[in-house]
Structure formats: structure tokens, C-alpha cells
């Protein structure tokens, strides 16, 4: 699978070092509060597992599952909720965790869905944020790394459901995007 990458952007130690920093920041910001984490699957799976184990606070974890790409590398703009139950986060301080902020469609839709549950607050944390003009404006409160507008895989991120299990993040070779 390494051969399918143009280059590695963040290796395992770099990811873990950055997670230490974000976790410390989140732990400070949310101390004495009722933290409810909402993980956006599947892409955020590794990120959520590694980040939450660095946050020594009592917290509740819910997962939502969405698809906006339908296996392709272009965002369709249509966001389909696979699991429609809205997490019960009334009066809670919600932290939404997602793998990557691209067009903004996914996080804008999730934020709107979470708002219907009347939480006390909502913040957004993404591992990666693409530097680009977004279709929907989303301003994440915590960002692991800013990246150029390139298609990346690994550490949870997929292309047609592959590469999620790579322990590092890299740019997929353009000719493979098809
Ligand atoms: P958005 O709705 O366009 O912001 O896209 C968010 C979702 O698209 C992410 O949660 C990912 O699942 C997927 N995505 C966006 N960019 C990439 C990428 O470079 N690699 C892999 N998945 C991506
Ligand atoms: Mg995703």
C-alpha cells in the first residue's frame, strides 16, 4: 500500500505528538464540564481512539455514520445519515470529532443535526483541514494539521474503503484516483 502513495505527510510519531498537544488543550478547556464526544465514523476511528485515550476526563461517546462521497474522491454535496438516531446530548458540552474538513458539507450537516438535540455547546475538532474555499463555512475549534487540497489516505482515511489501516497519512498517487 505504501507504493500507492506519492508521499507520506505525517508519520506515526508526528501524529501522536500532535495528538498529545490537542488532547492537553481539550482537557484544559473542558475540565469541570460534561463532555459528550460525537465521533463521525468511519474515517475518524483511529483518531478518536488515540485522542480520547489522552483525555483524562469523564466523557460520553456517541458515534454517527455518514457518507458524502459514495466511494469517489469528489464530494457530492449530498450527506446521507446511515444511523439516524440523534445522540442524546441535551444540556451537554458536545465535541464533534471528524477525520478531515474538506468541502464542509459533512460537518455543517452534522452540526445542524446535533443542534436539534439542544446541547449546551458545540465545538468541532478535526485531525486534518484542507486549505481551500469551502462550499459550507465550518470553523473548527481544534485542528490537528492544515494540509493542501490533495487527496490523502491512511490513519482512518480511505479511498474506496482502502488504506484506512495505514498507521500514517499520505497523499494518494493521482493516477489511482481515476
Ligand atoms: P466534506 O463533507 O467535503 O467536508 O468531506 C468530509 C468527508 O469526506 C471526510 O469525513 C472524509 O470521509 C471525506 N474526505 C474528504 N477529503 C478526503 C481526503 O483527502 N481523503 C479521504 N477522505 C476524504
Ligand atoms: Mg469521514
Query: Using one digit for the tens of pLDDT, what is the confidence trace for 126-174?
Result: 999 999 999 999 999 999 999 999 999 999 999 999 999 999 999 999 9
pTM for the complete prediction?
Answer: 0.93
Which residue of 100, 158, 163, 165 sits with most ligand 1 atoms within 8 Å of its CB, as the best mutation to test the pocket? 100
DSSP 23: H
Residue 102 annotated among the catalytic residues of the structure: yes
* Residue 114 confidence class, pLDDT cut points 50, 70, 90: very high
Is any atom of ligand 1 closer than 6 Å to the C-beta of 44? no
Is any atom of ligand 1 closer than 6 Å to the C-beta of 45? no
Catalytic residue among 102, 141, 149, 158: 102
Q: Phi/psi of residue 7, each to 5°? A: -160, 160
Amino acid at each position: 500500500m505504501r507504493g500507492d502513495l506519492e508521499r507520506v505527510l505525517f508519520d506515526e510519531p508526528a501524529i501522536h505528538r500532535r495528538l498529545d498537544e490537542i488532547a492537553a488543550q481539550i482537557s484544559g478547556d473542558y475540565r469541570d464540564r460534561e463532555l459528550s464526544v460525537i465521533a463521525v465514523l468511519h474515517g475518524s476511528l483511529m483518531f478518536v481512539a488515540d485522542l480520547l485515550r489522552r483525555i483524562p476526563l469523564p466523557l460520553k461517546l456517541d458515534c454517527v455514520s455518514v457518507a458524502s462521497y459514495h466511494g469517489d474522491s469528489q464530494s457530492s454535496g449530498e450527506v446521507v445519515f446511515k444511523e439516524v438516531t440523534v445522540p442524546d446530548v441535551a444540556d451537554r458540552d458536545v465535541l464533534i470529532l471528524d477525520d478531515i474538513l474538506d468541502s464542509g458539507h459533512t460537518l455543517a450537516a452534522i452540526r445542524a443535526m446535533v443542534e436539534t438535540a439542544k446541547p449546551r455547546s458545540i465545538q468541532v475538532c478535526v485531525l486534518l483541514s484542507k486549505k481551500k474555499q469551502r462550499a459550507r463555512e465550518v470553523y473548527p475549534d481544534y485542528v490537528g494539521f492544515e494540509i493542501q487540497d490533495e487527496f490523502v489516505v491512511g490513519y482512518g482515511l480511505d479511498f474506496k474503503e482502502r488504506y484506512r489501516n495505514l498507521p500514517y497519512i499520505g497523499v494518494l498517487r493521482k493516477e489511482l484516483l481515476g
